[in-house]
Amino acid sequence: MNRLTTPWHELDLARFPYDPRDQLRAWDAADEYLLRHLAGEDGTPVDLSGAVVVLGDRWGALATALAGHRPVQIGDSHLARRATEANLERNGIAATAVRPRSTRSDPPERVDVLLLRVPKSLSLLEDQLHRLAPAVHAGTVVVGAGMVKEIHTSTLKLFEQILGPTRTSPAWRKARLVFCTPGPGLPRGRSPWPRRWEVPGDTGAASGRTVTNHAGVFCAERLDIGTRFFLRHLPHRRGPEHVVDLGCGNGVVGLAAALDNPQARVTFADESYQALASAEETFRANTGPQAEAAFVAGDGLAALADGSADLVLNNPPFHSHQATTDAVARRMFSDAHRVLRPGGELWVVGNRHLGYHLRLRRLFGGCELVTSNPKFVVLRAVRG
């Protein structure tokens, strides 16, 4: 947990789920810079009396700081939503002070102040600007925030093409602001998302199937090499099993498991609403009406009961925004261990250098190397 000093008050903030071992802050200089600008520390304060929308707030720092203005918070991350709820409670602020929506929800009808954290994914920025553009008017204040390394010429071009003329601020503590003046008459066109592509051959049961990728989901236009390697070496199982695609992304791994074992019941789990929408469209487009699946937005497998799964398939991320960390993988492995029945199996693909086998051995009491190539390993751990 850490304290953020804003122009109005001090806040105790933490990421979600809170893990004191990580020492990662729930805010950064870009959040500070944006809040200082809103308070008028570099000029005139921004009028926040109208409809305020906060887009892409990573851990709820902005929404919590601006809770007195009842902002609409739009985000793709279930963990960011939970972090906001926890941070509001931590600071004695009513949960109703922030109105959460996902990136898949209908956008607000009117936006007077649009504040956004520039996402890592340009595609997600493009899609969300298109979705919000009809609600923006000539008087809307649009301010983006990000670290200098996150804001590129391509970022500014998207603002210009979709909303209107754009400029940037001077850098402050390696952060920068983006100011956009909406031009409501601008011909914007339509969002090019989602996109669809075909799984290449030689990838097992999913070969030749069509995958749907909504904006912001990993590997938007082609199969990534790690997943391709994983698909070639998935276990072949039979019977009415419960299979979990943990961190499912576009759902191609869970789809492959369902196609290989039509009796399986598959749960697709991810913290990204965009990913779950992709996985559901991918699954429904490639399976029959009898195929059974669930799509769960959550903190790992928190929503699943102990001992309820037979097989968990996992390609864990090793980044949390700009931070390189194994914290997400640690939680995923622990969740898998909890939800697997005795004898159930966790199959993991990962980069060789990440050393996942060491953590799996400590947690499961053993770990088998299924296969490897110069870049990736596929590991199998069995619940005792």
Q: What is the dihedral of CA 27, 32, 34, 39, to 10 degrees?
A: 130
Q: What is the pLDDT of residue 297?
A: 97
Full pLDDT tens readout for the chain, 384 residues: 589 999 999 999 999 988 777 778 999 999 999 999 999 998 899 999 999 999 999 999 999 999 999 999 999 999 999 999 999 999 999 999 999 999 999 999 999 999 999 999 999 999 999 999 999 999 999 999 999 999 999 999 999 999 999 999 999 999 999 999 999 777 778 899 999 999 999 999 999 999 999 999 998 889 999 999 999 999 999 999 999 999 999 999 999 999 999 999 999 999 999 999 999 999 999 998 888 899 999 999 999 999 999 999 999 986 444 444 577 899 999 999 999 999 999 999 999 999 999 999 999 999 999 999 999 999 999 999
Q: What is the pLDDT of residue 99?
A: 98
Distance of CA 212 to the CA centre of its chain: 16
Contact (CB, 8 A) for 206 and 231: yes
Q: What is the pLDDT of residue 324?
A: 46
Q: What is the pLDDT of residue 288?
A: 84
Q: What is the pLDDT of residue 20?
A: 78
pTM: 0.94
Q: What is the pLDDT of residue 318?
A: 67
Q: Where are the alpha helices (DSSP H) in 61-163?
A: 61-65, 78-90, 122-132, 153-162
Q: Which domains does the chain carry?
A: 2-180 (3.40.50.150), 195-382 (3.40.50.150)
CB contact burial 58-96 (16+ within 10 A = b; e otherwise) = bbbbbbbbbbebebbbbbbbbbbbbbbbbbbebeebeee
Q: What is the pLDDT of residue 317?
A: 85
